[in-house]
Amino acid sequence: MQNRFRGRRIAVVGAAGGIGAAVADALSREGAQVYALDLRPAEAMGAGEFVPVDITSEASVAEAVTALYARSPEPVDLVNSAGIVENDVAAEDMPMETFDRVMAVNLRGVFATCKHFGRELLARGGGAIVNIASMSGNHVVNEPQRQSVYNSSKAAVSALTRSLAVEWGGRGVRVNAVSPGYVDTPLNALKRHMHDHWIEGTVVGRFARVEEIAAAVGYLLSDEAAYCCGTELLIDGGFSLR
Ligand SMILES: NC(=O)c1ccc[n+]([C@@H]2O[C@H](COP(=O)([O-])OP(=O)(O)OC[C@H]3O[C@@H](n4cnc5c(N)ncnc54)[C@H](O)[C@@H]3O)[C@@H](O)[C@H]2O)c1
């Protein structure tokens, strides 16, 4: 699959994170011109040209899109991997500020990037968008951690993916999602004491490797997935089966 993405320009939002960095690396190794979008570069930064963005600001998203098209008029596909989670807060005690903060990134931010990147793709005849949703959008992961806002935000990402797939699929823009189970990344760092519990609940008995999530993203971006429209790939090691 060397050079599968030669000639493609692909923006990875959240590229300084565990999954985003692996996606940026994999796409770049397969020949894509990768733009690594994040709040700031980090140690984990994968391959690609760093472009700063804060997806909670529509102006920042628009600025990043303008910057990418100033380099070339060729279409830029999109991977949305930025996301945050609240740290084990009971719903009855949830500060509404926490609700707003999580939704601002996980739903509003993902909507903003889809809107701005999608508009350019529609104008250029098509392209591909992959959103990283989560197993927990469908399967309520509420044990031992409580994360009602995160779970709701990810269910919304799944619904957004299907909605955009219907709006744009007939005009050449494929919108799909990958929903990981547990992956050992900085997102879960504050919950180390829960890791044994999570691994025990996973049928294959381990965390996903970031490369295994990146492989699913690569498939959905590729021409082999031309018939995937609103598809959500659940990559959870069997966690949600029981
Ligand atoms: N790690 C898991 O177990 C797991 C499971 C299911 C789904 N996911 C989802 O996968 C995606 C990636 O998760 P990860 O584990 O790599 O997390 P991570 O914390 O390692 O990376 C997330 C990245 O998003 C960036 N980000 C946060 N807010 C941003 C903003 N406003 N603008 C731009 N960038 C912003 C962060 O800087 C960070 O680099 C997330 O959407 C997450 O919800 C993760």
DSSP secondary structure code for residue 157 in this structure: H
Higher pLDDT, 234 or 195: 234
**Domain boundaries defined on the chain:** 9-241
Is the confidence at residue 44, as pLDDT, over 90?
Answer: no
Report the C-alpha gap between 164 and 130 in whole angstroms: 11
| Ligand 1 closest atom vs CA 208 | 3
Is the confidence at residue 142, as pLDDT, over 70?
Answer: no
Q: What is the mean pLDDT of residues 61-74?
A: 98
Phi then psi for residue 63, to 5 deg, are -65, -45
| Ligand 1 touching residue 194 (CB < 6 A) | no
Report the C-alpha gap between 183 and 236 in whole angstroms: 9
Report the C-alpha gap between 237 and 205 in whole angstroms: 8
Helix (H) or strand (E) holding 33: strand 33-38
The SS3 of residue 227 is coil
CA 91 / ligand 1 centre spacing (Å): 22
Q: Which CATH class is domain 9-241?
A: alpha beta
HSE-CB at 204 with a 13 A cutoff on CA atoms is 11
Residue 150 catalytic?
yes
User: Which position among 35, 150, 182, 219 bears the catalytic label?
Assistant: 150
| Ligand 1 touching residue 182 (CB < 6 A) | yes
Query: What global pTM score does this model have?
Result: 0.97
